[in-house]
Structure 1
C-alpha cells in the first residue's frame, strides 16, 4: 500500500468544560454564564471557535457544548477562555483563563483546573477535560423510548423527559449527546439518532457508557435527574438486551428505557479506499496573468530578479506536500494565461492552457525539486499576458477525472492564482456540473488580493440547497512550517474522496 499523508490519522481533541465558584454578578438571582473559546497557533491570528450554551442561574456550570480541535503535538496551540454573564442588557465579563492544548493533554487523566481571573482577581476555577478521538468506521443508529417514567412535577403536571449520553474517559463522565425533550409525557418516544462507536465507547464494545434521563424545567434551569443506567454495545447488540431500568442516585427504580430500533452501520473511510488500490493523479496549474506583475520587476509575484519569488516558494512547498500522494512522485504542470515560448512548443501566442514541459503528451516531471526547477527554468520563456481565464483548465481537469471515473484513480488538482478570475461565473457553473467527478480542487491564493470573489463563490457552493458534493478547498498561501501548510492544504482530501466513493 502506498505510504501517503492521511489527515484522518492525526489526533483530534474534544474539549469538555465546566466551571466552579464563579462570581455572582446579579442581585436578585444568580448569574447566567456562558463561555467563549478563542484559539491561536504559531503567530496566526486568534479565531473564535464558538461559545457554549448559557447555564441559567448557575455558578457551577457543566456546559454541554464541547469543542473539537486538531491536536498538533509539535506546535504551540493556545486556548483562551472568556466567561460572560448573559443578561437583559447584553453581557457582563465574569473572567478568563488561558492554557495550551499540550498542557491539558499532559495533565493527569487529561484533566486540569485553571484559575479564572477577573481584572486580576480570582474568579473561580475552570475545569478542562481533553479526550483524544480517532476516526471511526463504526456507527449505531437507534431509537429510545421511556416506559412509566417517574413524574417529577407533582399533581399539577408531568415530567418533560430527555436523555443524556456519557462517554467514560479516565473515570470522568463526558456528555456526548442529548435528545430532545418530550413535554408532559411519562411514556416518551425520542427521535432516532446516529452516533459513532468511537465517540460512545472508544470503539470498545465492552466499555460502559451511561445514559441519564432528566426532567427539563423552564428554560433549562435546574433540570432534575430522574434516573440513570450503564450498559455496553456488547450487551445491546450481542446479548440483545433492549430494556433497562432507570435507577435513582440513591437507589430504586423510576421507570424503564427501551430501545425500539437499532442497527449497526459501517462506513468505509479514506484508509479503506487506499487499501482497495485507489491511486492519485497530481496536477498543478500556475496563473501567469498580468495581475501577478511584470516578472522583470522585483515586486512581481513571478519576479525572476528574485532568486526565489513568491510562486517559486509556493510551487516547491505545495509539490513537496503533494508528492506523498503519488508513489512515483509524478506531477503534471500547466500554465494558465500567458504567451509561452517553450522548447518544442510551437503555439507562441496567448494560451489559456499550456504544459510547462512544452509537451501535452509528456506534461509530468518527477519529484518536488524537479517541479521547482521546471517553474524556475521556464520563467523567462513565458511572456506574462492577459487576464486569468480558468475555463479551459477546469474543463481539462474534469475531462481527465471523467476518463478515470470507472477506475481507482483520483485526481488532486492545485491552482496557484492571484485570485482575479475574469470568468468566475463560468468557473462556478463548471464546478457545479462536475461536482460528482473523482477530483479535488485546491485553490491557493497568492499575493495581497482579498480574494472576496473566490471566497463568496465557495461559500455559495457550500450552501447549495439541496446540498451538493463539496470538492474544493481554498487557502491563502503563507510562508510557514511545512506541517502547517500540509494541514491547511490536505485537510479536506479524505472527506472529498469518501464523499465521491459514497
Structure 2
C-alpha cells in the first residue's frame, strides 16, 4: 500500500510528519518513516509515500505525529509538537475512495487541524505479463547444423547482482527462432519496479550442459510494456577475441499485461457489502426475532438470553447455515458477501445435514467461521474445516473451502496478556476469509468495478527538503 497526504493543518513554519507502527509488545511504538519537510504553509501536501503490507485479518494500528521543524536536527524533541492521529490501516483502505480524514489531537484545548491520508494498492505486485520473443540471424554454434537457441531472463538486485527468473524452451536447429509465449508475474520479473534492469542472455543448447553463449542485451519492464514497436528490437552484443562487436537482434513480438482482478483492497474499493451473522450455541429467548443491530445488539441479546437460557442439546448447525444461505443465494453478483460466525461449546448433533448445507453454501458468496469454546473434543469441527479433505455430502464435494474452525482454548494466554491473545484469535479467525472471498469472485468470473479516481489535493506551496 502507498499513502501520504495531509491538509488543513493549523500551524506556522516548516511542517513534517512521522508515522509510527506498534511492535508486538503492544505498548512500544516503532517509527516507520518520516515525510519530507514543507516550507512555511498551513496546508502541506506531502509527497513521500510509505509502502506497507496490508493484512485483512489483522488490526494494524498506526499513529501519525506532526511537528513544526525548527532545525535540521533529527531529534524530534528539538521541534514543536503539533498533534497526532491514531487510526488503523484497515480504516484507511476501507474509507470511501480509500481516503481517510481525521481531526488532529494531542494538544488539550486547541484545534490542531485535520489530516487526510490516502491509500492505493500497488497493482504491479499482482500483475502478470504475457510475452513472446523472436530472433534473427543468430550465430551458428553447432558444427553439424545451426544453433539450438534459448533465452535466460535475469532480474537485477539491489546490490547490482542478477538472479535468474525465467528460461524459455529450446528451439532446435535455427538461427531465426520464435519462442513460445510465456506468462510471468511482474514481481518475479522486476520486483514491481518498472525501471529495474532486466538482463536477457541468449544461449545455444548443448546436450552435455555446456551451453554456448551467443549474446545478451538489457531492457526494463517499462520498455517491454510498450509492446511490439521499434523500442523493443534489441541488438545482441557478442564480444569476440579481437574486441569486434558482432550485432544480431532479438525482437519482442507480443507483450500483454494480465491484470490480477480481485484482491481484498479492491473488494473494499469496490464497496462490496460484508454481511455478518453471529450464531451462539444456546436457546435464544426470542427465536421469532433473532436479528440484532451491530455488535452492541449482539451483546445485548446475549446478556438478555442468559436470564432464560437452556443449557442442553441438541446442537444443530444446518438451520443457521441454511438461514444465511437463503440471503446469500439472492445476491450472487459480487455486491455482497456473507460471513457466519458460529460460537459453540458442544458436539454437533446434525453432522450429515450440516455437511450437506456446507456443500450447497460453497456455491454462494458465503464463509463460515466456527469458534469452539470449552474443553470438548472438536474432531467433527476439524472435519468441517476441510483443510485436509474437502467436505462432501452424498457424493458431492464442496465447490470451495468456506469453513474455518478455531478452538478458543488455544488462544488463552497463561501469562495474562489478554490483548495479545485477542489479537492472535482475531487474526486466525479471519485468516481464510480473503482467499475464500477471492475464490468465489474468480470462480464466478466476477470482475471488480473500476476503482474510484484518486483524491486530488489543492495546489500547494513549494516543497523544501532538509
Q: Shorter-normalised TM-score: what interval? A: 0.5 to 0.7
Structure 2 residue 193 is matched with structure 1 residue 207: no
392, 398, 406: which is aligned to 2:325? 398
Is contact 2:150-2:168 (8 Å) kept? no
Change (3 A) 1:486 1:171: farther
Structure 2 residue 128 is matched with structure 1 residue 139: yes
Structure 2 residue 248 is matched with structure 1 residue 260: no
Within 5 Å, which residues of 2 pair with 1:66-465?
A: 136=125, 138-150=127-139, 154-155=143-144, 158-159=147-148, 161-182=150-171, 187-214=176-203, 225-238=213-226, 240=229, 241-248=231-238, 252=245, 256-266=249-259, 267-286=261-280, 288=281, 338=282, 340=283, 342=285, 345=286, 359-360=289-290, 362-367=291-296, 371=298, 374-375=301-302, 378-379=305-306, 381-405=308-332, 408-417=335-344, 421=348, 423-446=350-373, 447=375, 448-450=377-379, 451-456=381-386, 459-460=389-390
Change (3 A) 1:187 1:396: farther
Distance across 2 between alignment mates of 1:384 and 1:466? 34
Identify which of structures 1 and 2 has the higher relative contact order when contacts are C-alpha pairs closer than 8 Å and 6+ apart: 2
Within 5 Å, which residues of 2 pair with 1:11-90?
A: none
In structure 1, runs of 5+ residues without a counterpart are 1-7, 10-41, 43-68, 75-132, 289-337, 346-353
Is contact 2:385-2:404 (8 Å) kept? no
Distance across 2 between alignment mates of 1:182 and 1:467? 43
2:217 alignment partner, SS class:
strand
Per the TM alignment, residue 483 of structure 1 is displaced from its structure 2 partner at its CA by 4.2
Per the TM alignment, residue 167 of structure 1 is displaced from its structure 2 partner at its CA by 4.6
CA deviations over 1:103-148 (Å, ceiling 9, x no partner)? xxxxxxxxxxxxxxxxxxxxxxxxxxxxxx9653543222234445
Per the TM alignment, residue 372 of structure 1 is displaced from its structure 2 partner at its CA by 5.5
Structure 2 residue 419 is matched with structure 1 residue 497: no
Deviates further, 441-450 or 408-417: 441-450
CA deviations over 1:201-220 (Å, ceiling 9, x no partner)? 3444333322334455669x
Is contact 1:435-1:469 (8 Å) kept? yes
Change (3 A) 1:243 1:363: same
Distance across 2 between alignment mates of 1:182 and 1:391? 58
2:200 alignment partner, SS class:
strand
Report the RMSD for the aligned CA atoms in angstroms: 4.6
Is contact 1:413-1:441 (8 Å) kept? yes
Is contact 2:146-2:174 (8 Å) kept? no
Is contact 2:263-2:438 (8 Å) kept? yes
1:164 alignment partner, SS class:
strand
In structure 2, runs of 5+ residues without a counterpart are 3-23, 25-52, 61-120, 414-419, 448-466
Per the TM alignment, residue 271 of structure 1 is displaced from its structure 2 partner at its CA by 2.4
CA deviations over 1:425-468 (Å, ceiling 9, x no partner)? 54444444333422233344555534552355763369x99994
Change (3 A) 1:494 1:159: same
TM-score (norm 2): 0.52
More strand by share: 1
Distance across 2 between alignment mates of 1:399 and 1:282? 14
Change (3 A) 1:231 1:385: same
Larger Rg: 2
Change (3 A) 1:455 1:400: closer
Change (3 A) 1:406 1:237: closer
CA deviations over 1:363-384 (Å, ceiling 9, x no partner)? 33435xx655654663563334
Distance across 2 between alignment mates of 1:231 and 1:246? 12
Distance across 2 between alignment mates of 1:193 and 1:485? 42
2:289 alignment partner, SS class:
coil
1:200 alignment partner, SS class:
helix
Distance across 2 between alignment mates of 1:419 and 1:211? 61
Deviates further, 411-420 or 464-473: 464-473
Is contact 1:441-1:471 (8 Å) kept? yes
TM-score (norm 1): 0.49
